[in-house]
Amino acid sequence: MNIETVKGSIRSVFDFPKEGIHFRDITTLLKETEYFNYVVDVLYEKYKDKGITKIVCLESRGFILGGALAYRLNAGFVPIRKPGKLPAEHYTKKYDLEYGTDEIQIHKDAFDDNETILLHDDLLATGGTALASLDLLSNFNLNKIYVNFLIELNPLNGRDKFNEDLDIYSLFQFD
């Protein structure tokens, strides 16, 4: 098993969810036991010694690997959800997407002080969702934040929008 084989399992879908968008579909990776396990194992090895106490994941595809990784790292799982999905008091952030606007929320009691977290999502495109998530996380007294994506779309330069001191890792790069 190697990273290029696993990367090659990601399906490309053109004009989805709307015309002009080149969608990277991870369901073709996730359905293969060996590929799914490989990705979780690689991410576990990357973060196992970082002292991570919570995995924060974005709805909805981020939940898939994030849950498995939280289990492997013996960490808690904190969801960032779309409006109307969280039952308790929460923070809200509105932000722009590459093809519209959106809103995300996180529970106000998601963390204790000085936790070390890993923010995980499946895709870094323009960076809007991840930046909005980091803005939500600024409401908490956290020790350290690591940021991880399964896929990074290099031509969209999303990484350039983040603070250069932020530890960002993407497993797969697409040009």
Catalytic residues: 61, 98
Q: Which residues contact 146 (CB under 8 A, 6 or more apart)?
A: 47, 50, 52, 116, 117, 118, 119, 167, 169
CA–CA distance, 80 with 57 (Å, rounded to integer):
6
Question: CA 9 → CA 25, 143, 151, 153, distances in Å?
Answer: 9, 36, 12, 16
CA–CA distance, 93 with 33 (Å, rounded to integer):
35
With 0-12 / 13-18 / 19 or more C-beta atoms within 10 angstroms meaning exposed / middle / buried, residue 75 is buried
